[in-house]
Amino acid sequence: MATPTAEREQWGSRIGFVLAAAGSAIGLGNIWRFPFKTGENGGAAFVILYLACIAFICLPYLFAELSLGRNSQKNPVGAIKAIKEKGPWSLVGGLCVLTGVFILSYYGVIAGWAVGYIFKDVFAPAVDAGQYFTNFIADPSAVIPLLALFMLITIGVVVGGVEQGIERWAKVLMPILLVLMLVVIFRSVTLPGAGAGLDFYLNPDFSKIDGAVIVEALGQAFFSLSLGMGAMITYGSYLPKRENLLVSGGYVALFDTAIALMAGLMIFPAVFAMGATPDEGPALIFVVLPQVFEAMPLGGFIGAVFFILLSIAALTSTVSLLEVVVSYFVDETSFNRKKAAWLVGGFTFAFGVPSALANGAVSWLSDMSWLVSNNIVGQNPSFLDLMDFVWGNMSLGMGALLLSIFVGWVWGSEQAIDELQQGSGDTFRGTLAKSWSVFLKYICPLFILIILANIVGINLIEQVINLFG
């Protein structure tokens, strides 16, 4: 077991950690991705599957990342090295760090769109929403400065350090986000015709569930909780031993889930009230919502508010993505926090430029079917789609699979349980601890394998169903 160094920064309070970790989890994944995935996958039935995945897979796996982080008091690479000094396992830590850089590169692009949409109503109050979106994301003079701006703000927060930067910001931003969302929900559910949206969102039609929907729900739950690239290892490393990881982790999952559910409540009643369709895909919030806002009283204001809160949510996620990489440089090299944040942030911006240009600005980046001809990534994938596929899906899944095996088998679930017992009183013992061990060693890797197999086009669930049906 590594001895924690006296100088390592720690969160100032439990609420500080919970808000910062919830801030990492809550982001574009909840407010942009969750509603469009729900809309594409049949509504309420998908929501129920998603909730089951959070409760039975992601939450227990979250404890593995938190326990590894707090035990080692290190970034993902250092955490693995502290347990297994030599051999290929430290490459898994390296994969986490790389994944952080590359997810951040294209996540920053979409976050930039959200910032741009704050001002949409000022510049273009009454244009065709679909056309506006298409033109806006294809305009380099808009999307590149917005990406740069978003990266600068992210770097600024990370340079501030754990307590002064991330924690202080999270404490201010997260409650604002909650209040803003409640305002939009109130407007949305009181629109005439909102009932059909509530029905779609809350009244499950189980005939819509098939293997693909199950796998989508599992993948979404995973991405949404920031799992699989060491963000929760890193955030856990700033926690003191007296902290109850089970309770804190539970709060994080609870907040993340609540915000996703609230995002759905904000969007679906409005979509149906406007006679729009829920299966617009990734464009859902950018195309449908401004249209919805336009047609309601105070719409310009509500639209601006919505995109402010989306930007806030994205910022607390980009901060965690950058923090994983910066903590690696601070722990493992001679770089200080400031230098590491500027350097990594600068590179990430450069890597983000092709993703920013991949939505109409540069044609060979916008349609990369010349490079990938199969259908795994979808029809005519852009460079951004490919980045999301490789880093947001494959690499995240691979990281989580390997990390659960590492914690369960290499470090040993007994050690992880020992770590989880510190600060948690008498709650995590006996049958509960034993079942968690079985989960970590067998069930969790198996489920992640199902996600990964699906990503490369093999639907294991469907194959098993076929086998018995």
DSSP for 192-211, please give it: TTHHHHHHHHHS--GGG--H
DSSP for 29-97, please give it: IIIIIHHHHHHHTTTHHHHHHHHHHIIIIIHHHHHHHHHHHHHHTS-HHHHHHHH--SSTTHHHHHHHH
Residue 69 or 299: which CB sits closer to ligand PHE?
Answer: 69
Residue 121 or 323: which CB sits closer to ligand PHE?
Answer: 323
Q: Is 319 in the site for ligand PHE (CB under 6 A)?
A: no
Minimum gap (Å) between residue 461 Cβ and ligand PHE: 23
Map residues 89-108 to x or -, x wherever contact with ligand PHE holds by CB under 6 A.
--------------x-----
Residue 116 or 360: which CB sits closer to ligand PHE?
Answer: 116
Position among 11, 30, 184, 261 found at the interface with ligand PHE (CB under 6 A): 30
Q: Is 317 in the site for ligand PHE (CB under 6 A)?
A: yes
**C-alpha to C-alpha distance for 456 and 376, rounded to whole angstroms:** 7
**C-alpha to C-alpha distance for 31 and 314, rounded to whole angstroms:** 9
Residue 291 or 395: which CB sits closer to ligand PHE?
Answer: 395
Cβ atoms of 416 and 440 closer than 8 Å: yes
Q: The tokens of 388 are what?
A: 């999301």
Q: Is 278 in the site for ligand PHE (CB under 6 A)?
A: no
| Minimal CB distance residue for ligand PHE | 29
Position among 214, 229, 353, 407 found at the interface with ligand PHE (CB under 6 A): 229
Q: Is 420 in the site for ligand PHE (CB under 6 A)?
A: no
Q: Which stretch binds ligand PHE (CB under 6 A): 25-33, 155-163, 275-283, 339-347?
A: 25-33
**C-alpha to C-alpha distance for 226 and 372, rounded to whole angstroms:** 28
Q: Is 223 in the site for ligand PHE (CB under 6 A)?
A: yes
Size of the site for ligand PHE (CB under 6 A): 15
Q: Is 154 in the site for ligand PHE (CB under 6 A)?
A: no
Position among 20, 25, 185, 405 found at the interface with ligand PHE (CB under 6 A): 25
**C-alpha to C-alpha distance for 402 and 425, rounded to whole angstroms:** 29
* Number of residues in the chain: 469
Minimum gap (Å) between residue 50 Cβ and ligand PHE: 13
Q: Is 226 in the site for ligand PHE (CB under 6 A)?
A: yes
């969750």: which residue's tokens? 34
**C-alpha to C-alpha distance for 273 and 176, rounded to whole angstroms:** 26
Phi then psi for residue 245, to 5 deg, are -65, -35
Residue 129 or 170: which CB sits closer to ligand PHE?
Answer: 170
Residue 115 or 194: which CB sits closer to ligand PHE?
Answer: 115
Minimum gap (Å) between residue 31 Cβ and ligand PHE: 8
Minimum gap (Å) between residue 30 Cβ and ligand PHE: 5
Q: The tokens of 374 are what?
A: 């199969």
Q: Which stretch binds ligand PHE (CB under 6 A): 190-198, 224-232, 294-302, 417-425?
A: 224-232
Burial group, residue 469, by CB count within 10 angstroms (0-12, 13-18, 19+):
exposed
**C-alpha to C-alpha distance for 431 and 350, rounded to whole angstroms:** 50
DSSP for 455-466, please give it: HTT--HHHHHHH
Q: How many CB atoms within 10 Å of residue 5?
A: 9
Q: Which stretch binds ligand PHE (CB under 6 A): 11-19, 20-28, 297-305, 329-337?
A: 20-28
Phi then psi for residue 231, to 5 deg, are -60, -40
Position among 54, 231, 273, 444 found at the interface with ligand PHE (CB under 6 A): 231
**C-alpha to C-alpha distance for 316 and 108, rounded to whole angstroms:** 12
**C-alpha to C-alpha distance for 108 and 149, rounded to whole angstroms:** 9
Position among 17, 18, 20, 24 found at the interface with ligand PHE (CB under 6 A): 24
Cβ atoms of 320 and 24 closer than 8 Å: yes
Minimum gap (Å) between residue 312 Cβ and ligand PHE: 12
Binding site for ligand PHE (CB under 6 A): 24-25, 27-30, 103, 223-224, 226, 229, 231, 317, 320-321
